[in-house]
Amino acid sequence: MDIPAAEIAITPELVAKLLRTQHPDLADRRLTPVANGWDNAIYRLGEDMCIRLPRRQLAADLVDNEQRWLPGLASRLEVAIPAPLRRGEPSPDYPWAWSITPWFPGQAALDIAPAQRGAIAADLARFLTALHIPAPAAAPRNPVRGVALASRAPAVHERLDSGRIPRADELRRLWDELAALPLWAGPPLWLHGDLHPANLILTHRGDTTAPRLAAVIDFGDLTSGDPATDLAAAWLVFDAEAHARFRAHLDQRDDIDATTWGRARGWALNLGVAIAASSDDTPRMAALAAHTLQRVLTHP
């Protein structure tokens, strides 16, 4: 399945014009196209900034959430997040708000082997502990993250029935078991919502060869609800050994129990199937889906 079509053509010429008209003091910086993803076009701006511009209306709504909430969250997180440095306004040339955010040098965790990602298990656990606090009532609503796991059943079954997902019968049986687990009974907590390896930026510090977690990016799915949504990272990011270390850190929290981890496994299954169904043209994401579903099925 290909990425959704852009609803507006975002070209270097358009981005340069937006800079000249709205942020002229940055207009002389070098502008480099970086990515053209599902939701946003990304341009690097000089050495230490980047520009995120929605490609479609759905993503424009998510940018509004990031601009409103990320600055407050960034102020209490030790790991960097892309809190906007400046806001771009809708104009006759471009219909939506856009953001200028920090550029985080490093390497996406998706681009290294799962066994090497284990070095960030404690870092990611601490990040989630700091993030997962009760969210205000006005926090963004997201129909596919943070919600009751069972609400994703129609989408999961449709994908498993498509004939394109390996070991679909095993996954279906496991899904039905996990989706029946008790609901999250605590208050809605702040959630990243899309915590997979492509959204984790790693760097090496000093002379060590072990990577560290430098930044967590892409808060387009920012919402509140069941922390199991984010705990699915145990299956998406890590191998079995690092999964155990990640869980050991998080089991020190009073609000996480075995049932929460069961729902987290269900969220990992849901996300793995969704990625598998939409990564025909993206080999890196197809490999992530295969890793996730293998880990989900072989988890003891």
User: What is the model's pLDDT at position 2?
Assistant: 57
Which pLDDT belongs to residue 38?
76
* pLDDT at 280 (0 to 100): 79
- Residue 147 exposed, middle or buried by CB count within 10 Å (0-12, 13-18, 19+): middle
Residue 208's pLDDT is what? 63
- Write the pLDDT tens digit of every residue in 68-123: 999 999 999 999 999 999 999 999 999 999 999 999 999 999 999 999 999 999 99
Amino acid at the residue 54: P
How many Å apart are CA 31 and CA 100, to the nearest integer? 12
Q: What is the CA radius of gyration of the chain?
A: 19
The segments of the chain whose pLDDT lies below 70 read 1-3, 206-208
Token couple for 65: 């959430």
Query: What does the pLDDT read at residue 4?
Result: 74
Residue 145 in contact with residue 193, Cβ under 8 Å? yes
SS (H, E, C) 247-270: HHHHCCCCCCCHHHHHHHHHHHHH
pTM listed for this prediction: 0.94
Question: SS3 string of 131-152?
Answer: HCCECCCCCCCCCCCCCCHHHH
The pLDDT of residue 37: 78
Q: Please, are residues 297 and 165 in contact by the beta-carbon 8 Å criterion? A: no
Which domains, and CATH codes, for the chain? 12-102 (3.30.200.20), 107-298 (3.90.1200.10)
Please give the pLDDT value at position 300: 83
Q: Which two tokens stand for residue 145?
A: 């993250």
pLDDT score of 58: 86
The answer to whether the CB of 133 falls within 8 A of the CB of 72 is: no
- pLDDT tens digits, one per residue of 197-225: 999 999 987 666 789 999 999 999 999 99
